[in-house]
Structure 1
Amino acid sequence: MNDASAAKLDLLTEDHRSRTSAKRHAPRTPRDAASLILIDRSHPVPRALLGKRGKSHAFMPDLYVFPGGRRDPGDNRTAMARPLCDAVADKLMQRTRTRFQASAACGLAVAAAREMQEEAHLSLTPPEHADCFRPDVSHFRYFARAITPPGQPRRYDTRFFACFCDELELDPSAVRDSVELHDLRWLPIDAHDSHPLPRITKVILSDLVQALEEDPSLPFGRTVPFYYFRHGRFVRDLI
């Protein structure tokens, strides 16, 4: 692990300690969730879409996050206009529970697309399927995974997908606020201090900066950083 990665993990560990020192919750099993890092690369510095969660949210209130949410049972059964790339689907099956099926992996991608539509009003359904929700997830990269540490009021095992607006012919100006997310903004991916972000979001944005420097195309089969908590400290593993 390099010094930058170690520094990120120290920040995550310290953030977890500060959040759990005042109030601890009973252990909770993390729920599968998905988030989509939508990237606008039409500017010199690529921008990512984030929105602010409301004050009443039990999980990450008043912070700017990527659109996303938990995987619903119906997501596993939703037909896709175009499926995940094989390399992405295969990677999603790694480091999972015994009962985790391929349908659940596909359901995570559907959940990310559904949440993008619900929270930012951006539809990933091609025009030929405009009469129903049938997303095109063929451009999704599996970018990162993070499990909320113990002691939080909500815990999620979140898979972060990433794709570019132009790949899906999305208009960045078409985003609209929702009940779940407001003040939606396209933030430069290196502007970590311009808005209040969860530390894990800052870490993933830092990973994105590095990944785009290494290969601006974001290869589909790239190694995926996996963040989780073990023995009192955050761990950065690779999938």
Structure 2
Amino acid sequence: MNETVDKTAIRHASTVLLVRSGPDGPYVLMGQRGAQAAFMPDKFVFPGGAVDPGDADIPLSRPLGAQCAARLSHDAPGPTALAAAAIRELWEETGLMLGRAGQWPDPPPDWLPFAQQGLLPDASGLHYIFRAITPPGRTRRFDARFFLADVEHVTGDPDDFSHACEELAHLHWVPFDQARKLNLPFITEVVLAEAHARIMGEDMASSVPFFDNSTGTSCFRRIA
């Protein structure tokens, strides 16, 4: 007997805001979801997606920073799984790799192309900046952690998206002020503002904003 999967159950997820300096200030990498996508069709988003069961067992060449790891340590599925998922989703959806030279003991099939480049995932450049849970009533619900990373941590050409899957179209680097003019989900606008403030030097690292919509009542709090 086949089990029915509850697609509205809250799934853990990781998202990456990959940024670089440009002539007009900081740029962020974004892509557009397809018109037929079940979740946020046509919207421009950052690369990201659900945590896979095996992500907790992925070897990292370097872990998350101590503060980020501590803030994630009390949450299932834990800092390693969330960091590995962020790196995997960025790689799958853009073809860009946050990696460092190293040998895998036994790479799982979905990580084999990554491992064949002689790289281990490197989480040291990821900075945890936001958490949000999708409100009830949506076709998909995620408990998403957003990570900020500088393009200097990417191995290879940051303009080469030839190895990206087809989940995101129109992958491109967008100046932050122009990104706000795109067709964005509300939470993406909020996270953009948070990321831009951090990049511009505002001292916001003392806590992480958290939009908790796990119940019918929306709650905003901060993770110390």
- Which category describes the TM-score, using the shorter chain as reference length? 0.7 to 0.9
1:209 and 1:169 mapped to 2: Cα distance?
24
- Whether 2:214 is the aligned partner of 1:227: answer no
| Correspondence 1:57-76 to 2 at 5 A | 57-76=37-56
Gaps of 5+ in 2: 1-5, 104-114
1:74 and 1:27 mapped to 2: Cα distance?
20
Aligned residues: 205
| Aligned twin of 1:163 | 149
Name the aligned partner's letter for residue 68 of structure 1.
G
Which of 175, 194, 200 is equivalent to 1:188?
175
Structure with a larger share of its residues in helix? 1
| Correspondence 1:35-74 to 2 at 5 A | 35-74=15-54
- Whether 2:122 is the aligned partner of 1:136: answer yes
Distance 1:115 1:126, change over 3 A: same
TM-score, scaled relative to structure 1: 0.77
Q: Deviations over 1:150-196 (max 9, x none)?
A: 01111000000111001445533123453111110111122244321
Distance 1:133 1:69, change over 3 A: farther
Contact 2:98 2:122 in 1 (8 A): yes
1:133 and 1:116 mapped to 2: Cα distance?
15
Distance 1:203 1:135, change over 3 A: same
| Correspondence 1:44-123 to 2 at 5 A | 44-94=24-74, 96=75, 100=76, 104-123=78-97
Question: Helix, strand or coil for the counterpart of 1:144?
Answer: strand
Contact 1:50 1:66 in 2 (8 A): yes
**1:116 shift after superposition:** 0.8
TM-score, scaled relative to structure 2: 0.82
**1:234 shift after superposition:** 3.7
Contact 2:13 2:145 in 1 (8 A): yes
Question: Helix, strand or coil for the counterpart of 2:12?
Answer: strand
Distance 1:133 1:29, change over 3 A: farther
1:27 and 1:116 mapped to 2: Cα distance?
22
Question: Helix, strand or coil for the counterpart of 2:121?
Answer: coil
Structure with a larger share of its residues in strand? 2
1:206 and 1:38 mapped to 2: Cα distance?
14
**1:147 shift after superposition:** 0.3
Taking every aligned residue pair, what percent have the same amino acid on both sides?
36
Q: Deviations over 1:19-47 (max 9, x none)?
A: xxxxxxx9943110000110112444101
Which runs of 4 or more aligned residues in structure 1 lie more than 6 Å from their structure 2 counterparts after TM superposition?
Answer: none
| Aligned twin of 1:20 | none
| Aligned twin of 1:124 | 98
**1:75 shift after superposition:** 0.6
**1:231 shift after superposition:** 7.5
Contact 2:61 2:102 in 1 (8 A): no
